[in-house]
Amino acid sequence: MATGNGAGEGRGEVRGESPGEGRGDGLAGRTEWARHWQYAELPGLDLLRAHYVRHTFPRHAHDGYVIAAVTGGIEEIGLPGGTVRAGPGSVVLINPEVAHTARAGVPEGWAYATLYPSRALITEVAAEIGTQLGTPGFTADMVTDPAGSRAITEVHRAAEAGNALAADTLLRGVVARMLTRHAGPLPVRTVPRAGAADAERARAVLEERMGEPPSLEQLAAELDTSPFALLRAFRDRYGMPPHTWLTDARVRRARLLLDAGTPPAEAAVTVGFTDQPHLNRHFTRIVGVPPGAYRRGRAAG
């Protein structure tokens, strides 16, 4: 697991592409494994199935949604409203751009099957079922729903078996189930108007100058505000301080580059990491698999 050395993808990192070692709950001793991939017949969706024990996800956010079924152990998710403990039979629901953390809640860790649908996919299903106006958002962080949890794992099984008809049917059924039971208009984070404007301008600067970002003091001076006021406004708007957001943004940008076929070493430098080991470390912590396993999952899908 790469939470410390980041020197390569074969030392102490999460093992990739294991189906759970033959156990239905995915908890096979204390060996960590993960598969993060795309199935070509399910556009607009990423899939992750994993067992984590020591791995912890730092504060980060996603462009799209998270729908996760915990199949074994306990996952602790740190959300803006507090910490949620999710066990078997539960479904974790996270909206786009909501900052959160994740870690094991018991010594044996947790296993889960996760769907990462894009905003476009969620909006499409919401329009088809006619339950939402505008962009939908989940109104619960976690729900106890054994049937929904099983349906999520069945999406994974169908995709892994290459059964496109079943996978697509099950996916739309899961999304429709969650939207009809646990969704409303996408919540809008409210912060003081001046602070929100400064935070959004700061984000734009960091996105534009990701490779060579300014210091907090320099950024505040450019925006004609104070470092502390900018830090507070940015954290209120995006759920994390600028340096944490920047690391997350770099990993997101690196994923797009890897998806386009860019070699990891080149992607690392392009987004502002010092070298490939630096990318490996942060990529594995945030995505849950090393860049090499991530690329293989794309190719296999």
Q: How far apart are CA 192 and CA 268, in angstroms?
A: 35
Can you tell me whether residue 47 is helix, strand or coil?
A: strand
pLDDT at 79 (0 to 100): 96
Can you tell me whether residue 188 is helix, strand or coil?
A: coil
Q: Could you report the per-residue pLDDT of 112-144, keeping only the tens digit for each?
A: 999 999 999 999 999 988 865 678 999 999 999
Rounded to 5°, angle at Cα 41 from 50 and 100:
40
What Rg value do the Cα atoms of the chain yield, rounded?
19
CA dihedral defined by 5, 11, 16, 19, rounded to 10 degrees? -120
Contact 285/57 with Cβ under 8 angstroms?
yes
Question: Which of the 8 DSSP states describes residue 6?
Answer: -
Chain centroid, CA 193 distance in Å: 28
pLDDT at 25 (0 to 100): 64
Contact 213/246 with Cβ under 8 angstroms?
yes
pLDDT at 11 (0 to 100): 34
**Nearest CA-CA partner of 30 in 70, 72, 59:** 72
Q: Are strands 57-60 and 66-73 parallel, antiparallel or unpaired?
A: unpaired
The low-confidence residues of the chain, meaning pLDDT below 50, are: 1-13, 20-23
